[in-house]
Amino acid sequence: MANVAVIGAQWGDEGKGKVVDWLASRADVVVRFQGGHNAGHTLVVGNQTYKLSLLPSGLVRGKLGIIGNGVVVDPDALLAEIALVRSQGLTVTPETLRIADNAVLILPLHPAIDKAREAARGDHKIGTTGRGIGPAYEDKVARRAIRVADLAEPETLSAKLDELLLHYNALLQGLGVPTFSKDTLLDGLLKLAPQILPYAEPVWERLDELRRGGKRILFEGAQAVMLDVDHGTYPFVTSSNTVAATAASGSGVGPNAVGFVLGIAKAYTTRVGSGPFPTELHDDIGQLLGDRGNEYGVNTGRRRRCGWFDAAMVRQAIKVGGVQGIALTKLDILDGLTELKICTGYRINGTFSRHLPAAPGAQAAAVPEYETMAGWAESSRGARSWADLPAQAVKYVRRIEELVEAPVTLLSTSPERDDTIMVKDPFEG
């Protein structure tokens, strides 16, 4: 099976953009299958930096990009991102980008309700990106969402907006924020329609053709397993399933078409937004990881929380996410640290647990149990072979493989595309 799915194995921002970009050179098509413009994928190509949120990363390599039905699409954000990458010299046309006609749209009322609810939560906020992702997925499950294909039917739009506003204006009013008028929303959608519809099609059919033609498909995940709405640290999660199985349902192919599942993990841990983070560091080392790793959200500019590598959490993500090999990123950020810690499990109210439990109280009470290793003084940055790596860095990677119970398939040693060690070609299965 020549296909590959890339998913995050921590809490996001593992460097999926770089790995997908690197793998895209070996693929024919890149497919996004969940999430929306809450994702922030940074690709560094020579002296050009692309920051993509919604567009499949393969576009940078001139590969066909597909936005699957599992993605929630904000049409304004999409058009703005297309304009931005065009200004950076990329070609985005209906020949290079296809969007599932059954994908759900994010409307202006979704970020409004997202932000209003977060504000109302006060100290208990989830720390969402405020981009309307959660409310859009709620509408999909509640069967009231407006989808891409609806843009071609003004009457459908009008009727659906009536139903949506019945729901949302009551909520917005209750939260004390401005409500929306149907005419404004309808006019907006009808203006966007001719700009979006040329990209729309039943992408499942194209994917079927591509598969039958022996083409290589790369499925590009957003967010990460620990942000999965079922398997993550609920309720501090995103509103989609981020596990590899979603690559199938979120694009309209069968589970056997997904191929090799590559999980991306940083050599340490970060998290944006609220929620449990057992290995979080509030000391100088946490500060150093954040500074050196440039740990700021691509979308929000928020400083990411930083901590030691949590092998117990990554092992859990690997099991539930279906990960067969890991791509370990940002190893160079640990260069020069005298001592490194790896979390192997948690002490929770006096009992040892090898996994993060489902109950929020128990998650919050989890105290990491660490294994300590010596660090390395030499630089690992830019290494392109195992021989280029400090011996102690190799030991650290090997220990991670043992603890998470999965092999390292790729190792990334800088943001540069080519600073990558390939242990095994994921497309070879």
Q: Is 238 in the site for ligand IMO (CB under 6 A)?
A: yes
- Which region holds residue 180: left if phi is over 0, alpha if psi is between -120 and 50, else beta? beta
Q: Is 127 in the site for ligand IMO (CB under 6 A)?
A: yes
Give the one residue of 193, 227, 248, 312 binding ligand IMO; rule: CB under 6 A: 227
Question: Whole-number minimum distance, CB 129 to ligand IMO, in Å?
Answer: 3
Give the one residue of 29, 37, 40, 412 binding ligand IMO; rule: CB under 6 A: 40
Task: Please check whether residue 280 is in contact with residue 60, taking contact to mean a CB–CB distance below 8 angstroms.
Answer: no
Give the one residue of 2, 4, 6, 13 binding Mg ion; rule: CB under 5 A: 13
H or E element at residue 85: helix 75-87
Residues tagged active-site: 13, 41
Q: Is 220 in the site for Mg ion (CB under 5 A)?
A: no
Q: Which does 8 bind (CB under 5 to 8 A by kind): ligand IMO, Mg ion, none?
A: ligand IMO
Shorter beta-carbon distance to ligand IMO: residue 12 or 293: 12
Q: Is 13 in the site for ligand IMO (CB under 6 A)?
A: yes
Cα torsion for 355, 219, 216, 21, to the nearest 10°?
A: -100
Tokens 């929770």, residue?
348
**Quick one: 280 exposed, middle or buried, by C-beta within 10 A (0-12, 13-18, 19+)?**
middle
Whole-angstrom Cα distance, residue 170 to residue 317?
Answer: 39
Query: Helices 391-404 and 311-321 meet at what angle, rounded to 10?
Result: 50
Part of the chain binding ligand IMO (CB under 6 A), chosen from 5-13, 61-69, 173-181, 411-419: 5-13
Task: Please check whether residue 46 is in contact with residue 88, taking contact to mean a CB–CB distance below 8 angstroms.
Answer: no
Contacts of 281 (CB under 8 A, 6+ apart): 289, 306, 307, 308
Query: What is the DSSP secondary-structure string of 268-300?
Result: SEEE-SSS--TTB--SHHHHHHHHHTT-B-TTT
Tokens 């995103």, residue?
238
Q: Is 8 in the site for ligand IMO (CB under 6 A)?
A: yes
Q: Which does 279 bind (CB under 5 to 8 A by kind): Mg ion, ligand IMO, none?
A: none
Give the one residue of 3, 34, 69, 129 binding ligand IMO; rule: CB under 6 A: 129
Q: Is 38 in the site for ligand IMO (CB under 6 A)?
A: yes
Q: Is 321 in the site for ligand IMO (CB under 6 A)?
A: no
Shorter beta-carbon distance to ligand IMO: residue 299 or 344: 299
Q: Is 203 in the site for ligand IMO (CB under 6 A)?
A: no
Give the one residue of 2, 39, 200, 281 binding ligand IMO; rule: CB under 6 A: 39
Question: Whole-number minimum distance, CB 155 to ligand IMO, in Å?
Answer: 31
Q: Which residue, among 240, 421, 425, has the nearest Cα to 325 in the 3D structure?
A: 425
Q: Is 40 in the site for Mg ion (CB under 5 A)?
A: yes
Whole-angstrom Cα distance, residue 129 to residue 272?
Answer: 9
Part of the chain binding ligand IMO (CB under 6 A), chosen from 23-31, 34-42, 150-158, 244-252: 34-42
Task: Please check whether residue 277 is in contact with residue 271, taking contact to mean a CB–CB distance below 8 angstroms.
Answer: yes
Residues within the interface to ligand IMO (CB under 6 A): 8, 12-13, 38-41, 126-129, 131, 133-134, 222-224, 227, 238-239, 272-273
Residues within the interface to Mg ion (CB under 5 A): 13, 40
